[in-house]
């Protein structure tokens, strides 16, 4: 069953993600659960903006986590950067840039040249 515009369903999956980032430094962050929540939400919603929302929300949680607890491990940064790249691609593919540009700037400036989006914060590039 698809839920095209359900804020309640979106909030349910955001709470799953938020709970994982609610752990304290030294506790295991279960990346699989974070990624699965995004995937599961994408399977029950056909609302492109809400799918982008859950990905951007996850990256914001990751940024807040590292700001609160300092340096994490390489797997953490790889996971967050991967979700960030997926979010950028999804946002651009679905022409949602105007809806998320303000939040992008909080995560790190994005530079676009010849169809290549580069996070100036992470150095990751996504080409469209």
pLDDT tens figures, 1-31 = 566 668 899 999 999 999 998 866 556 788 9
62-90 burial by CB neighbour count: b if 16+ within 10 A, else e?
bbebbeebeeeeeebeebbbebbbbbbbb
Tell me which residue has tokens 């950067």: 81
d(CA 107, CA 110): 9
19-44 burial by CB neighbour count: b if 16+ within 10 A, else e?
ebbeeeeeeebebeebbebbeebbeb
pLDDT 10s digits, 59-74: 999 888 887 877 778 8
Bigger pLDDT: 125 vs 92? 92
pTM, two decimal places:
0.80
Q: What is the predicted pLDDT for the residue at 72?
A: 78
């Amino acid at each position: 069953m698809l839920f095209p515009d359900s804020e309640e369903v979106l909030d349910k999956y955001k709470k799953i993600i938020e709970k994982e980032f609610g752990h304290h430094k030294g506790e295991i962050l279960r990346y699989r659960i974070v990624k699965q929540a995004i995937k599961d939400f994408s399977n029950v919603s056909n609302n492109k903006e809400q799918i982008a929302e859950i990905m951007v929300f996850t990256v914001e949680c990751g940024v807040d986590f590292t700001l609160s607890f300092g340096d994490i491990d390489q797997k953490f940064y790889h996971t967050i950067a991967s979700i960030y790249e997926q979010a950028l691609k999804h946002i651009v593919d679905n022409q949602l840039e105007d809806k998320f540009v303000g939040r992008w700037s909080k995560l790190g400036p994005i530079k676009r040249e010849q169809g290549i989006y580069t996070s100036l914060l992470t150095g990751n590039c996504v080409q469209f």
